[in-house]
Amino acid sequence: MRNHLLFMAGATALLLSACSNSEEVAYAPPPPPAPAGAVPGSVAADRDGDGIIDGYYTADGVYHPNAVYAPPPPPPPTRVGEKG
Protein backbone atom coordinates (compact mmCIF):
# COMPACT_ATOMS: atom_id res chain seq x y z
CA MET A 1 0.00 0.00 0.00
CA ARG A 2 2.79 2.37 0.89
CA ASN A 3 4.58 1.80 -2.44
CA HIS A 4 1.32 2.47 -4.26
CA LEU A 5 0.98 5.94 -2.64
CA LEU A 6 4.58 6.86 -3.50
CA PHE A 7 4.08 5.71 -7.07
CA MET A 8 0.89 7.80 -7.41
CA ALA A 9 2.61 10.91 -5.99
CA GLY A 10 5.52 10.51 -8.43
CA ALA A 11 3.20 9.94 -11.39
CA THR A 12 1.14 13.01 -10.47
CA ALA A 13 4.24 15.18 -10.28
CA LEU A 14 5.44 13.86 -13.62
CA LEU A 15 2.09 14.50 -15.31
CA LEU A 16 1.77 18.00 -13.89
CA SER A 17 5.28 18.93 -15.00
CA ALA A 18 4.15 18.59 -18.61
CA CYS A 19 1.73 21.50 -18.03
CA SER A 20 4.43 23.88 -16.88
CA ASN A 21 5.05 26.97 -18.95
CA SER A 22 8.66 27.75 -19.81
CA GLU A 23 8.21 30.95 -21.86
CA GLU A 24 10.69 33.73 -21.26
CA VAL A 25 9.33 36.83 -19.57
CA ALA A 26 10.24 40.21 -21.06
CA TYR A 27 11.51 42.64 -18.45
CA ALA A 28 11.48 46.43 -18.66
CA PRO A 29 14.76 48.01 -19.81
CA PRO A 30 16.89 49.64 -17.12
CA PRO A 31 16.23 53.35 -16.51
CA PRO A 32 18.48 55.87 -18.23
CA PRO A 33 21.41 57.24 -16.22
CA ALA A 34 20.75 60.23 -14.00
CA PRO A 35 21.56 63.66 -15.46
CA ALA A 36 24.70 65.50 -14.40
CA GLY A 37 24.52 66.73 -10.82
CA ALA A 38 21.39 64.75 -9.90
CA VAL A 39 21.11 63.80 -6.24
CA PRO A 40 20.33 60.05 -6.05
CA GLY A 41 16.80 59.23 -4.88
CA SER A 42 15.35 62.70 -5.43
CA VAL A 43 14.65 65.29 -8.09
CA ALA A 44 17.17 67.70 -6.57
CA ALA A 45 20.31 68.75 -8.45
CA ASP A 46 23.71 69.90 -7.25
CA ARG A 47 25.34 70.88 -10.53
CA ASP A 48 28.49 72.55 -9.21
CA GLY A 49 29.21 69.87 -6.58
CA ASP A 50 29.46 72.19 -3.57
CA GLY A 51 26.88 70.24 -1.54
CA ILE A 52 24.16 72.89 -1.86
CA ILE A 53 21.10 72.07 -3.94
CA ASP A 54 21.09 74.37 -6.98
CA GLY A 55 17.82 73.33 -8.65
CA TYR A 56 15.70 70.34 -9.58
CA TYR A 57 14.86 68.08 -12.51
CA THR A 58 11.33 67.52 -13.79
CA ALA A 59 10.05 64.14 -15.00
CA ASP A 60 11.00 64.97 -18.60
CA GLY A 61 14.64 65.61 -17.59
CA VAL A 62 14.62 69.41 -17.81
CA TYR A 63 16.73 71.27 -15.24
CA HIS A 64 15.14 74.19 -13.39
CA PRO A 65 17.45 76.36 -11.27
CA ASN A 66 16.27 77.59 -7.90
CA ALA A 67 15.33 81.24 -7.83
CA VAL A 68 18.26 83.33 -6.62
CA TYR A 69 17.07 86.45 -4.89
CA ALA A 70 19.29 89.50 -4.86
CA PRO A 71 20.21 90.80 -1.42
CA PRO A 72 18.23 93.85 -0.34
CA PRO A 73 19.79 97.16 -1.33
CA PRO A 74 21.65 99.10 1.35
CA PRO A 75 19.62 101.71 3.20
CA PRO A 76 19.69 105.16 1.63
CA PRO A 77 22.03 107.72 3.22
CA THR A 78 20.52 109.94 5.87
CA ARG A 79 19.85 113.54 5.04
CA VAL A 80 21.27 114.78 8.32
CA GLY A 81 24.92 114.08 7.56
CA GLU A 82 27.91 114.87 9.76
CA LYS A 83 28.42 118.31 11.18
CA GLY A 84 31.90 119.40 11.62
By the 8 A CB rule, do 64 and 58 touch?
Answer: yes
pTM of the model: 0.39
Q: What is the pLDDT of residue 82?
A: 66
Confidence category of residue 81, pLDDT binned at 50, 70, 90: low
Q: Which helix (H) or strand (E) holds 6?
A: helix 2-17
| 45-61 pLDDT tens trace | 887 778 778 888 888 88
CA dihedral 8, 12, 14, 20 (to 10 degrees): -170
Identity of the highest mean pLDDT range in 29-33, 40-44, 74-78, 79-83: 74-78
